[in-house]
Amino acid sequence: MSYVHANDTAQEMRSPDTVMRLARLGSAFPTRLSFGRSLIRRLIEDGSTVERRLWSIDERGFGRAVYRVEIGGYAYSLVAFATALADEDRSDRVIAEAWDASFALYDGDPETTDLDRLEANLPKQEAGRYTDRELVISRSNKSVRLFSHVADALAQGQQPDIDMVDSIGYLMRTTAVYGNGKFGIADRFVFADRPGLQGPFAAEMLTVWLIRTFTHDLVEHVARVRGGDSAVRLDPEIKRHLGIGNSTGLGMAPFLVHHPELIHNWLHARETALARVRALSEVTTETALRLRALFDRARAHVEHWQVPDALQAERLVTLRAELEQAVDSAPLDCAGPYPIKALMDWSDQHSLECQELIRALCLEPFGDLIDELTDEMAFNAKPQFLPGMSLVELSGLIDQHYHWCGGVDFETSMASQKFWYVSEAKLEPRLGDRYAEDGADREQPLDVARQVQALHAAIAGLDQDEAKVCDLLARHPEHRNIVKRVQSSAQRPFAEIRDNLIDQSMRPIDMLRCKLAFFGAVKFDPKSDLWTRITLFQGAPMCDELQARGDDWWLSTRPDAA
């Protein structure tokens, strides 16, 4: 397909001042650039198939299983162990010590000795011992209510209640998916250059997609044991709608601050994609019809997205009303000039949720124009440290990229009420109240705005006409890290969240939603400002239908009752 482009000036991206605010990041939706989507496309391109190599699961649903997949010329195996878990031990919290199932993505084909070793260690998770043949480890708990309902229905020869399937969306939810050398597993550099796993979190996404297959197989196995000849298999439409749940809390939030170069690559790729489609002077009739069908799908998806959280529920009520208005008021026919720009401009008159949903929608039909941008989303180069930079130039970078820091008054208690720290018990990020809790003396450096203000004050105390960064740091070595961040900003304008991350009103869940949307998460279900449940791979092709179904599963909708 060919496209008619506007001139280069029309392809300007949104400003980081617009994009990198917490409220907007906390309204993000998955797009076709999300990591789960790009993984599925790579599997399809490779003609990958999944083989269940081992199924040693007993009549109670406990035991071991192995699934094998090839991608990019390399073989990987999901090793799964299902174990008994007492109800009182069931918890989504990272501090739990037992789970319904544990998993490893193994590099190659495990031998029996490898399985025995992993069976002794994987159920322990953090307390286990691993090798660099394990690329990812994970664990999950059943959604007991839905798992039992599905197993019982299938055992009786019936399909499960579609309303219940849709309201929960998964048979199991992961409580952690660990990679990059954690607990002794392989560091990312071991496989980062392999075809298919170069992208961010590609190994983790492959693991989760294979876990989804295991949950489907497990519930059908339990149903066969219970029902014998009366049991039936899950209807494919319902099975496809069952993704994998995930519970994510504060441990993920600081990632967006600790990895500014990577975050810039993610946001820059997405914003470049948006600029490209916005610059199209016209689209084909086929594309216009496709956009309208996707809009109808998005409306149906949002209609069935129900959450108990009062704030998110209110936002969804607003979004549903706005999408209803769009039927008559939005330029969905794409008949005029620059139709994608017109649709985005319409959304800008509405809520942040509406703006970000419409933008995600507008990317969907244009894979051949934007999918190559996923190649730019991995980490590529470390930031430079330039001790010879003049303080005049450093000050200019602060004025250009950190002007948003100047409006924060850290003399007020509200502006510095929160502090980030790492818990001694689980070595996980936590958030404290500076004026009510101990521990601020061990604060983690997520207070970027406050650090920039302190750096600016230190620069003001020197003769900027002559001094260089090395002169400043000789007197104030405590500013070295923030100087590096500022120096990197010229090449990476989307690297910084442009809000005060220790403010009393700061909601960590906004950072969580941003990152999870890049994973491909849907059905955000906040349980507080600190943690959320989500669903991954809902509607994605199953292992045996990659070629038949393709990559068309953005904001999938519930199937009709079987």
Per-residue pLDDT of 466-493, as tens digits, reads 899 999 999 999 999 999 999 998 889 9
Predicted confidence at residue 250, as pLDDT, reads: 86
Residues 79 and 165 in one domain: yes
For 169-201, the pLDDT digits (tens) are: 999 999 889 998 988 999 999 999 999 999 999
**Contact of 419 with 439, CB cutoff 8 Å:** yes
Backbone angles phi, psi at 521, to 5 degrees: -70, 150
Q: Is residue 523 part of a domain?
A: no
Tell me which residue of 306, 309, 310, 245 sits closest to 92, measured CA to CA.
Answer: 245
Residues 226 and 109 in one domain: yes
Question: How far, in Å, CA of 321 to CA of 317, rounded?
Answer: 6
Is the pLDDT at 2 greater than 50, yes or no? no
| Enclosing domain of residue 269 | 4-30+260-379+510-518
Predicted confidence at residue 428, as pLDDT, reads: 81
Q: Which of 479, 496, 518 is the last residue of a domain?
A: 518
Token pair 């693991």 in the structure block, residue = 207
Residues 42 and 170 in one domain: yes
Predicted confidence at residue 126, as pLDDT, reads: 83
Q: Is residue 214 part of a domain?
A: yes
| 11 band by pLDDT with thresholds 50, 70 and 90 | low
Is the pLDDT at 5 greater than 60, yes or no? no
Tell me which residue of 532, 99, 59, 12 sits closest to 279, measured CA to CA.
Answer: 12
Is the pLDDT at 374 greater than 60, yes or no? yes
Q: b/e per residue, 183-214, with b = 16+ CB within 10 A?
A: eebbebebbeebebbbbbbbbbbbbbbbbbbb
Residues 239 and 302 in one domain: no
Q: Is residue 542 part of a domain?
A: no
Q: How far does Cα 28 stand from its chain's mean position?
A: 10
At 58, is the secondary structure helix, strand, or coil? coil
Residues 267 and 138 in one domain: no
Is the pLDDT at 561 greater than 80, yes or no? no
Question: How far, in Å, CA of 385 to CA of 394, rounded?
Answer: 12
* Strands of 134-142's sheet in order across: 50-57, 63-71, 74-82, 101-107, 134-142, 170-178, 243-248, 532-536, 522-526
Question: How far, in Å, CA of 158 to CA of 163, rounded?
Answer: 15
Q: Is residue 552 part of a domain?
A: no
Residues 200 and 88 in one domain: yes
Backbone angles phi, psi at 11, to 5 degrees: -95, 20
**Contact of 125 with 166, CB cutoff 8 Å:** no
Identity of residue 531: W
Q: Which of 221, 249, 277 is the last residue of a domain?
A: 249
Q: Is residue 430 part of a domain?
A: yes
Is the pLDDT at 432 greater than 80, yes or no? yes
Question: How far, in Å, CA of 26 to CA of 352, rounded?
Answer: 9
Q: Identify which has the larger pLDDT, 125 or 366.
A: 366
Tell me which residue of 22, 104, 150 sits closest to 511, measured CA to CA.
Answer: 22
Residues 122 and 198 in one domain: yes
Residues 514 and 478 in one domain: no
Token pair 């001694």 in the structure block, residue = 424
Residues 91 and 238 in one domain: yes
Q: Identify which has the larger pLDDT, 4 or 60.
A: 60
If you average pLDDT over residues 53-65, what whole number do you get?
Answer: 97
Residues 396 and 362 in one domain: no
For 306-335, the pLDDT digits (tens) are: 999 999 999 999 999 999 999 999 999 999
Token pair 């050398």 in the structure block, residue = 181
Partnered with residue 170 across adjacent β-strands are 243
Partnered with residue 67 across adjacent β-strands are 52, 78
Question: How far, in Å, CA of 465 to CA of 450, rounded?
Answer: 25
Predicted confidence at residue 267, as pLDDT, reads: 97
Q: Identify which has the larger pLDDT, 337 or 560.
A: 337
**Contact of 85 with 99, CB cutoff 8 Å:** yes
Q: Is residue 58 part of a domain?
A: yes
| 153 band by pLDDT with thresholds 50, 70 and 90 | very high
Question: How far, in Å, CA of 271 to CA of 268, rounded?
Answer: 5
If you average pLDDT over residues 25-38, what whole number do you get?
Answer: 98
**Contact of 57 with 82, CB cutoff 8 Å:** yes
Residues 24 and 43 in one domain: no
Q: Is residue 535 part of a domain?
A: no
If you average pLDDT over residues 364-393, what whole number do you get?
Answer: 91
Instruction: Report the residue count for the chain.
Output: 562
239 token code pair = 């099975």
**Contact of 197 with 203, CB cutoff 8 Å:** yes
Task: Decide: pTM greater than 0.75.
Answer: yes
Mean pLDDT in the chain? 93
Q: Is residue 533 part of a domain?
A: no
Cα angle 271, 275, 276; round to 5: 120
* Biggest CA-to-CA distance, the chain: 86
Is the pLDDT at 7 greater than 60, yes or no? no
377 token code pair = 């989303």
Give the Cβ contact number of residue 220 at 10 Å: 19
Residues 25 and 90 in one domain: no
Number of domains in the chain: 3
At 246, is the secondary structure helix, strand, or coil? strand
DSSP letter assigned to residue 202: H
**Contact of 7 with 490, CB cutoff 8 Å:** no
| 4 band by pLDDT with thresholds 50, 70 and 90 | very low
Predicted confidence at residue 96, as pLDDT, reads: 62
Predicted confidence at residue 534, as pLDDT, reads: 95
